[in-house]
Structure 1
């Protein structure tokens, strides 16, 4: 698939088939995480691959939507705050930015091989932290189900370029 097709076809899938994801497709998606750009290439993240059937009850406490646990897997991107680059002039730790880029790479890779995903940031952080057994330097940034979608994309309005692009003279 051409890149422009990938970004045009990606949508937030909120319904999944009960169909296993082939190992080679899962590995393709995970490999995309390793090539995502991060601050000074520190790669301060972990990706958790969670079996949705095995952990359905616990995952449902993290995010209540039924479709969240329909796919065979849920992926979690965890930022490693103590390993991330920090801007020296204002002390901004960019671990959350790095983790978001990683998730974006995986989601686009999933689209490329016909898998559905949905960015989930509205989760219960305390449940997620406890479920994954994270320490104080680790932060769950995003989740996504990973599987074969069974719903069509809904219409999502997009702003016109003139609504958000500013050319600075």
Structure 2
């Protein structure tokens, strides 16, 4: 698929049919995340794939936003393995994990797999639920699967402000 089609067609699916994501497609999505750039190539992302019905049910206790997805990817990062930027106010953890997640989200669309970026949960509660190490911070979860019959992008999906409202050229 052409990249412009990937970014134009991708939307947040909020009703999945529960069908599993094929192994080859899931591996292509995970590989796209692995190839994502990170500050100083630290690769601090930690990716957890959840397909077990028992763990998916536990996940439902922490967020109402699984939407019946058959596969959920939890994107976290190792807080002890980040690059601290000049000034000491920010580090690379959140942005690098975001780049990784975005690569996977776009790869899913390219593979014909629907997705939804989810932040509607308490990250600390999610980390406890999954027994993640204390040095890891959960950034988001990525629901993956196939849209339920008849489900489409919400009407506002294609409404975007013109570039002139969001972009300024400094001279």
For Structure 1 versus Structure 2, the TM-score category normalised by the shorter chain is: over 0.9
Aligned to 1:88: 86
The match for 2:25 is: 25
Residues 22-63 of structure 1, C-alpha deviations (whole Å, 9 max, x = no match): 110000000001110110111001110011522233111221
Within the candidate set 68, 71, 93, 1:70 is matched to 68
Alpha-carbon offset, residue 135 of structure 1: 2.8
Distance 2:130 2:91 in 1: 22
TM superposition outliers: structure 1 runs of 4+ over 6 Å = none
* 8 Å CA contact 1:80, 1:138 repeated in 2: yes
1:117 aligns with 2:115: yes
CA contact (8 A) 2:115 2:143 kept: yes
Q: CA separation in 2, counterparts of 1:107 and 1:46?
A: 16
Q: Are the equivalent residues in 2 in contact too, given 1:42–1:84 (CA < 8 A)?
A: yes
Greater mean alpha carbon deviation, residues 107-116 or residues 152-161 = 152-161
Q: How many Å separate the matches in 2 of 1:23 and 1:4?
A: 26
Q: Normalising by the residue count of structure 2, what TM-score does the alignment of the two structures yield?
A: 0.92
The one-character-per-residue Cα deviations of 1:58-79 (angstroms, maximum 9, x if unpaired) are 11122113xx151211101001
Q: Check if 1:60 corresponds to 2:64.
A: no
CA RMSD of aligned residues (A): 1.3
Residue 46 of structure 1 aligns with which residue? Answer: 46
